A and B are shown apart, each in its own frame.
Chain A
Amino acid sequence: MMAVLPSILADNPRLDLWVNFITLGQVTISTGRVEIGQGVLTAMAQLAAEELDVGIERIAIRSGDTDVTPNEGYTAGSQSMQAGGVALRQACADARALFLDHAARLLGCAKAELTVRDGRILRDGAATAHDYWSLAAAVVLATEATGTAPRKSAAEYTVVGRDLARLDLPAKVFGQPAFTHDMNLDGMAHARVVRQPNRGATLVSVDEQAIRRAAREPIAFVRAGNFLAIVADNETAAEDAAAAAADHVVWSGAERPTPLQQEANWLLQQPAIDRIIGEPAAAEPSRGLQTLERTYTRPHLAHASIGPSCGLAIIGTNI
């Protein structure tokens, strides 16, 4: 029997891509979503613990390793829980059902007699000899999700909906590596991009000598069309060169945004494509409540006052 799979699970149907019991006493959960401060890894751990009936402390979350995690596309648009979370829940529900099917065969009982408590399989509430880890070698998770196991209803939740300390926060409070920039590899070079002043601006000329003088350390230029970056072994040199570049790079078609373009009204008047991401829930029956409507805006071009974004790459073959 095959049910309609959540779309992310249909894209990544292998159960072992989502859930594994390789380590004794531990459940390895993979997600294609990454932690960007929204607490998503903690929330994913809660979902998995809930559907698998294991203690949250048994969950080890694997994220951001694209070789081994489901391809879920971007972590953006508030879609992680709605799309990725439901896929993970279904994968866990299907995996749990496979373990119960197998245990029922071993015990010669009906699956309905079996439940799971913290990974141990119970029959009519009493302990059996089996748990996820004792059965892991026999239950094949290298199989596609069927979507047939029911996911828990909200009324059954014991983990989801409870406050849980964020798994990612300790590293951030103790100054431990938590961000891409905190990876400091031997032989790493540093780069800074010299940004186009606006879309459509064309890079005309670069006074490389003047920029090299400002850097005071060896630098290299990377230029591809209107893209310009400065690379250096010494990060300070790359920073200094990029800062100096503003005065030594000539662009044509540079336009400063007008004050009008800072206003939300200007944005609303521009051509747009609406993307429907779901149907609104049916309205609650009115209980004499009053609906208040207000519109709040902010200058969208001033969105980011700080920009702690960075990328890191290893260049070469046979990596």
Chain B
Amino acid sequence: MAQNIAFTVNGNSVRIAVAHERTPLLDVLRNELRLMGTRFGCGLEQCGCCIVLIDGSPGKSCTRTIGSVAGCDVTTVEGIGTPEKPHPLQQAFLEEQAGQCGYCLSGILISAKALLDRNPSPSRGEIARALDDNLCRCGAHNRILRAVEKAAARLREERRV
């Protein structure tokens, strides 16, 4: 039975008619809202490609049902910055060339943002642990860690000014 689910995506209120409450959030983001930045990797919560922020916490949108995010505030990679106004993480990822195929990057950027939102001065170990659920099969990990460190330093700088 079709139902309407209301929630917020990147600051915009949306109301979506879905066939089933258990439709994955990822399918709604990509197919209904055409926000293609959040990617399907494994569909089994194993790779982290599909991670989005749900009320500020990282969640795997491939298995998270649309029914469970009713009334929630969802942030996708499109919501954290743009080429004109990049988030410090996006800027740092470009400066460090932190990515190869780039398929995992949306999820990694979101996980990193969740970390920096709650811990502005993470150690390298803390960054690695925060990104433990995000697989990068290409092996860009060192650059990714450097980029997150750089973004963290820049955000601290911004807050001080």
Contact = CB atoms under 8 A, between A and B. Distances in A.
B97 A166 contact: yes
Interface of B: 19-20, 23-24, 27, 30-31, 34-43, 46-47, 49, 76-78, 81-83, 86, 90, 93-94, 97, 99-103, 105-106, 109, 135, 137-138
B97 A305 contact: no
A306 B49 contact: yes
Contacts of A179: 39, 103
A308 B42 CA distance: 7
Interface of chain B, main secondary structure? loop
Contacts of B86: 173-174
Query: Nearest 6 CB-CB pairs, A to B?
Result: A175-B37, A37-B101, A172-B102, A175-B77, A182-B36, A37-B100
Nearest to B110: A175
Given A166-B97, A306-B42, A173 B103 contact: no
A175 B33 CA distance: 14
Interface string A170-186: 11111111110110100
Contacts of A235: 27, 31
A165 B97 contact: yes
A174 B102 contact: no
A169 B97 contact: yes
Nearest to B66: A236
A217 interface: yes
A217 B20 CA distance: 10
B43 A174 contact: no
Nearest to B101: A37
A143 interface: no
A53 interface: no
B23 A175 contact: no
Given A173-B109, A184-B30, A184-B36, A305 B42 contact: yes
A176 B109 CA distance: 14
B135 A306 contact: yes
